[in-house]
Amino acid sequence: MREHFTADWAFGIRGAIENIVRSNFPQDLRSWPLLQSFDFEAYALPENYVLLILKDKLSGVPAGPGVISAFPHAGLPELPPKASDIELWQFYLRSKFSLREEDAPFLVPIKDSGKNDASKDYELFSAEEQLFWNRQISYVVSRYKSHLQSMTKQSPVQPTNITYNVSGTSARVNINSTDSSVNVISTEVSRVFAQVREAVGLIPDPTARSEIGRAVDEMEQAHGSSNFLQKYQAFITSAANHMTILAPVIPVLTGLLI
């Protein structure tokens, strides 16, 4: 592997994010994290993969290690990664490294083109690796866009003077402007599943829509039990081919795992 492989990919990831945001959310370009500056970390994974973690910072020169570190945690999801496991990987990595919404982890197969250009390495990816990469970068962008929307959109004021602010993977309930540190209450759980069903209803394929709808029903029934994670993973697997539609509701759904 060439000397600057991790740096090439860190800047390649930044460029890919910028291209997606510029094309889809140009109004957010100046404030999008990782585009102004960032630091990065690199960890070796089995099956010839590297984990790159980009951490947003407001200014300064981007910095990162020249040597890949050993991965410091146990319990890795299955490798090589599959497109259907993107949400599982993101949840695992964000939890293990205590990442902020502004930060982002990426799995990269080590394919060295011999050039200081991540796009040339990408050309060496298999079809499955390219599929995973494309969905991974799309998911990361969609997740942060959903976070932005949740930060700027408040729920209607309730008669009990309770305001629900759902943000990313740690939904909080503020009562009279005081953080009660409650992740998800029953009213909010119902609201989350209503949002998920609304998104599922946008899937054009009726067979897929019905199958994913059943997975949502089973997941809601299992909420609060030891079977919830299994039902959640089954939902993510069944929804893998429709993440473009479902990505906006995935972060609040992930909050139910906390």
Amino acid 161: pLDDT: 40
Least Cα distance to 195 among 149, 241, 136, 238 occurs for: 149
Instruction: Please indicate, yes or no, whether residues 92 and 183 belong to a single structural domain of this protein.
Output: no
Decide which of 101 and 84 is more confident: 101
- Residue 30 DSSP symbol: G
- The pLDDT score that the predictor gives to residue 47 is 94
* Amino acid sitting at position 45: L
Last residue of a domain, one of 149, 170, 199: 149
d(CA 122, CA 36): 24
Expressed as residue numbers, the domain containing 162 is: 154-257
- pTM of this prediction? 0.62
If asked whether residues 58 and 110 sit together in one domain, one would say yes
DSSP helix/strand/coil, 92: helix
Average pLDDT over residues 108-134: 92
Interval 189-243: pLDDT, tens: 888 899 899 999 999 999 999 999 999 999 999 888 888 888 887 887 788 777 6
Instruction: Read off the pLDDT of residues 236-255 as tens digits, 9 standing for 90 and up.
Output: 778 877 766 887 777 777 76
Q: What is the pLDDT of residue 38?
A: 95
Say if CB 4 and CB 117 are below 8 A apart.
no
**Cβ proximity of 144 and 151 under 8 Å:** no
Instruction: Tell whether 172 and 216 lie within a shared domain.
Output: yes
Do both 61 and 116 map to the same domain?
yes
Same domain, 134 and 105: yes
User: What pLDDT score does 187 carry?
Assistant: 64
Answer for the pair 218, 134: CB distance below 8 angstroms, yes or no: no
- Give the end of a domain, one of 97, 121, 149: 149
Q: At 149, which amino acid appears? A: Q
Report how many domains make up the chain. Answer: 2
What are the pLDDT digits (tens) for 143-187? 888 888 777 654 433 333 433 333 333 333 333 334 433 344 456
Q: How many other β-carbons are positioned within 10 Å of the β-carbon of residue 180? A: 12
Domain identity same for 208 and 250 = yes
Does 173 lie in the same domain as 130? no
> 8-52: per-residue pLDDT in tens?
999 999 999 999 899 888 999 999 999 999 999 999 999 999 999
Same structural domain, 81 and 109: yes
Same domain (yes/no): 122, 159: no
Same domain, 227 and 186: yes
Question: What is the per-residue pLDDT for 245?
Answer: 81
The two structure tokens encoding residue 17: 């994010």
Residue at a domain's end among 149, 176, 202? 149
Helix (H) or strand (E) segment spanning residue 40: strand 37-45
On whether both 160 and 114 belong to a single domain, the answer is no
Both 128 and 251 in a single domain? no
